[in-house]
């Protein structure tokens, strides 16, 4: 559902309050807003979010030792092979790529699970519980199919406004953590948590307005700011 995005200035004020709670440096007053007043916001369709979560679940399982033939077979039977990026397919099928980098996608997968309503919150101080996350996703080793998982999972998509608010928080959080590194301050939040969750949110939350172009592909998400 497409709706008018929440007031970006009020959302930013709430993000700054959360950073203050975390005892992190605050971005400067001219730090860009993630969207403009009057912009529209929506989420990618539920089936697309489910498919991306299922693909990342296989990628993560491969990083933790799932045999490649099981990963390929599961994706083929689920008709999800085309949903993987080229680098993901190479990793799943041929073990080519950065295993540790793909393992860090656990936090992106957790954020997608939150968007689907099967993870409770995105508190930056709480890294993803891998065992709990696995229980909410397709059980690959037991051969649970994609459709069986969809039937047993009570998906309740978050509102686009709530997702946009989380996106702004993680956008600001990235700046704060980089500033901590620059000042050599302790990091109360794991940088992987911040980067990976923002990655998933940037992909899933779709804005339309004067300064927004087409929604990016998974590997085209821009995390440079």
Residues 164 and 147 in one domain: no
User: Is the four-CA dihedral 43, 48, 50, 52 of positive or negative sign?
Assistant: negative
Overall number of domains in the chain = 2
pLDDT in tens, 127-169: 999 899 999 999 998 999 999 999 999 899 999 999 999 999 9
Whole-prediction pTM: 0.96
Find the domain containing 201 and state its range.
Answer: 3-28+159-208
Residues 66 and 95 in one domain: yes
Q: Is the pLDDT of residue 225 over 90?
A: no
Residues 146 and 181 in one domain: no
C-beta neighbour count of 54 within 10 angstroms: 23
Is residue 186 assigned to a domain?
yes
Residues 6+ apart with CB under 8 A from 194: 124, 170, 173, 174, 177
Residues 136 and 96 in one domain: yes
Residues 50 and 144 in one domain: yes
Q: Is the pLDDT of residue 1 over 90?
A: no
The last residue of a domain, from among 109, 124, 152: 152
Q: Identify the band that residue 224 occupies on the pLDDT scale cut at 50, 70 and 90.
A: confident
pLDDT on residue 174: 96
- Determine contact, residues 138/150, Cβ cutoff 8 Å: no
| Stretch 3-17: mean pLDDT | 98
In whole angstroms, give the CA distance from residue 107 to residue 125: 12
Residues 83 and 144 in one domain: yes
Per residue in 179-217, is it b (16+ CB within 10 Å) or e — as a string?
Answer: ebeeeeeeeebeebbbbbbbbbbbbbbbbeeeeeeebee
Is residue 222 assigned to a domain?
no
């Amino acid at each position: 559902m497409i709706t008018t995005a929440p007031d970006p200035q009020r959302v930013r004020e709430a993000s700054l309050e959360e950073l203050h709670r975390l005892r992190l440096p605050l971005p400067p007053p001219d730090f860009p807003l993630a969207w403009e007043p009057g912009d529209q916001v929506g989420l990618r369709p539920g089936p697309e979010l489910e498919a991306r979560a299922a693909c990342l679940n296989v990628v993560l399982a491969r990083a933790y030792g799932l045999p490649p033939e099981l990963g390929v077979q599961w994706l083929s039977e689920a008709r999800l092979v085309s949903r993987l990026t080229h680098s993901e397919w190479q990793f799943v099928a041929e073990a080519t790529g950065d295993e540790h980098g793909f393992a860090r996608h656990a936090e992106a997968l957790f954020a997608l699970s939150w968007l689907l309503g099967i993870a409770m919150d995105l508190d930056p101080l709480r890294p993803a519980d891998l065992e709990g996350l696995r229980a909410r996703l397709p059980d690959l080793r037991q051969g649970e199919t994609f459709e069986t998982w969809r039937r047993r999972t009570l998906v309740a998509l978050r509102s686009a406004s709530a997702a946009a608010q989380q996106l702004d928080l993680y956008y600001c959080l990235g700046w704060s953590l980089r500033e901590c590194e620059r000042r050599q301050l302790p990091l109360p939040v794991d940088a992987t948590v911040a980067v990976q969750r923002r990655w998933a949110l940037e992909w899933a939350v779709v804005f339309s307005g004067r300064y927004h172009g087409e929604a990016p592909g998974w590997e085209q998400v821009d995390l440079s700011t």
